[in-house]
């Protein structure tokens, strides 16, 4: 126990203080609010890109374009290069990277949830597990709710 935490007495429990909750469609989720250093680490981790995952998703996205390459007309606005396919000005490689970054962020935030089962280790979950449990729209809403809990906006704290 640090000097500061000892100032609050023996019954002080920083884990309880750092746990907040929110209701989402009838279920109460508990969230562990990370310390500043933990949050910075989370942000750094979410920016790391697994190139193998990017390549796999890019291959899924580009498969149909490659298969139909001979039938694509100039007005379809599809440009093929050695490393990418650009569709209506949007890079499929960049789209794949953004998907992986979004998945990383969703996973990192879901890992902040406090499981009701005491023996469950949230660090062991994968994005595939999250994706199997929640539709993408629910994942995005959970991401937003968790973000609001760990870092409330001015309007949230003022009740506006």
Percent of the chain with pLDDT over 90: 64
pLDDT, position 117: 92
Percent of the chain with pLDDT over 70: 94
pLDDT, position 151: 85
Q: Read off the pLDDT of residues 13-47 as tens digits, 9 standing for 90 and up.
A: 888 889 999 999 999 999 999 998 999 999 998 99
DSSP 115: P
pLDDT, position 40: 92
Cα–Cα nearest to 32, from 150, 145, 123, 151: 150
pLDDT, position 159: 56
> Comparing 13 with 55, which gets the higher pLDDT?
55
What distance in Å separates the CA atoms of residue 104 and residue 110, rounded to the nearest whole number?
A: 10
DSSP labels, 32-76:
EPPPHHHHHHHHHHHT---HHHHHHHHHHHHHHHHHTGGG--GGG
pTM: 0.83
DSSP 135: -
> Comparing 5 with 139, which gets the higher pLDDT?
139
What distance in Å separates the CA atoms of residue 131 and residue 127, rounded to the nearest whole number?
A: 6
Q: Read off the pLDDT of residues 87-128 as tens digits, 9 standing for 90 and up.
A: 999 999 999 999 999 999 999 999 999 999 989 999 999 999
- Going from N- to C-terminal start, the domains of the chain cover 14-142
Cα–Cα nearest to 30, from 149, 160, 153, 151: 149
């Amino acid at each position: 126990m640090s000097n500061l935490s000892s100032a609050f007495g023996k019954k002080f429990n920083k884990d309880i203080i750092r746990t907040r909750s929110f209701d989402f469609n009838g279920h109460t989720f508990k969230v562990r609010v990370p310390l500043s250093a933990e949050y910075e680490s989370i942000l750094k981790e979410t920016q790391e890109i697994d190139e193998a995952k990017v390549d796999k998703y890019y291959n899924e996205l580009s498969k149909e374009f490659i298969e139909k390459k001979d039938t694509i007309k100039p007005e379809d606005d599809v440009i093929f290069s050695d490393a990418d396919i650009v569709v209506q000005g949007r890079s499929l490689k960049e789209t794949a990277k953004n998907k992986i970054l979004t998945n990383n962020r969703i996973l990192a935030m879901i890992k902040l949830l406090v499981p009701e089962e005491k023996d469950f280790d949230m660090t062991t979950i994968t994005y595939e597990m999250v994706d199997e449990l929640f539709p993408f729209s629910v994942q995005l809403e959970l991401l937003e709710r968790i973000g609001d809990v760990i870092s409330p906006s001015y309007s949230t704290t003022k009740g506006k």
